[in-house]
Amino acid sequence: MSRRTSPALWAWLAAGFAFLYIPILSLVFFSFNQSKLVTVWGGFSTRWYAALMRNEQILGAAWLSVKIAAISAVLAVILGTLVAVCLTRFGPFRGRVKTEVLTGLSLLLLFVAMEQAFGWPAGRGTLTIIIAHTTFALAYVAVVVQSRLTGMDPSIEEAAMDLGARPAKVFFLITLPIIMPALVSGFLLAFTLSLDDLVISSFVSGPGSTTLPMVIYSKVRLGLSPEINALATLLVVVVAIGVIAAGLVLKQADQARQRDAKMAASK
């Protein structure tokens, strides 16, 4: 086997990245377009950003999406952690089927049935979206937290119990801090999934609860608008800053840990 990577492989790699990133780059590029026509370059301008800031519909939808994402991510983390604890401590359950459309449709039917049966939730709206997002995101959180829990030495919890802590205290003082990184990444995952979701939201939303992806989708159906490009660019920037910051923090923590371990070992 040769150590050198062949030029053909490099070409494939470049093609792969190009396939993934050129659409995004072109989107960013055209968000600064002066022209109203999305595909024709008419000079540099930030007018679509200004227009975006005045667009109540988009801003309202974005704010609603963030609220829904935050609330459902918090709920998903709480419930997902409970699920993960049950799965790791009491063995696996059978049958885990998941399809987005199926989830959306079945939740819609459930909500309708529940409303008819005992009047809650009243109509479709923000509440039903939050419930739906929590439901599908908690599975992802559960998987992330579960892997962290299985990697944890069970005798740590036993030691806490042995030292006089009751099970609830063991969970909050010992287990929770140890699995905290998994909760944080689970939260971010749930937040992103909720912010991004179109299919399930479409099923369970009602009048007055239009999330950002739904607004974008309905606008795009009527033709591309430079305003959407500007919005998408802002989203890319925000997400990129978040990812890079998280990466840097994690890397620093890891380096500090390795340095400490080396120091301890050399003694």
User: DSSP 3-state assignment of 88?
Assistant: helix
Site string for other proteins, 139-158 (x = CB under 8 A): --------------x-xx-x
| Distance from C-alpha of 41 to C-alpha of 207, rounded to nearest angstrom | 37
User: DSSP 3-state assignment of 44?
Assistant: strand
| Closer Cβ to other proteins, 178 or 184, answer by number | 178
| Closer Cβ to other proteins, 1 or 163, answer by number | 163
Return the number of other C-beta atoms located less than 10 Å from residue 29's C-beta: 13
| Distance from C-alpha of 234 to C-alpha of 143, rounded to nearest angstrom | 30
- Tell me how long the chain is: 267
Residue 174 interacting with other proteins (CB under 8 A): yes
Render the burial of 198-211: b for 16+ CB within 10 Å, e for the rest: eebbbbbbbeebbb
Residue 89 interacting with other proteins (CB under 8 A): no
Owner of token pair 């179109």: 198
Residue 228 interacting with other proteins (CB under 8 A): no
| Distance from C-alpha of 236 to C-alpha of 26, rounded to nearest angstrom | 13
Retrieve residue 35's tokens: 């022209």
| Closer Cβ to other proteins, 166 or 221, answer by number | 166
Of 177, 208, 242, 247, which lies in the binding site for other proteins, with binding defined by CB under 8 A? 177
Q: How far is CA 236 from CA 168, 179, 219, 239, in A?
A: 41, 29, 19, 5
Minimum gap (Å) between residue 263 Cβ and other proteins: 7
Minimum gap (Å) between residue 74 Cβ and other proteins: 22
Of 160, 190, 193, 228, which lies in the binding site for other proteins, with binding defined by CB under 8 A? 160
Residue 163 interacting with other proteins (CB under 8 A): yes
Q: Which of residues 232-261 bind other proteins (CB under 8 A)?
A: 257, 260-261
Are 191 and 127 a contacting pair, CB within 8 Å? no
Owner of token pair 């890319």: 236
| Closer Cβ to other proteins, 36 or 257, answer by number | 257
Residue 100 interacting with other proteins (CB under 8 A): no
Minimum gap (Å) between residue 253 Cβ and other proteins: 12
Residue 165 interacting with other proteins (CB under 8 A): yes
Which residues are at the interface with other proteins (CB under 8 A)? 153, 155-156, 158-166, 169, 173-174, 177-178, 257, 260-261, 263-265, 267
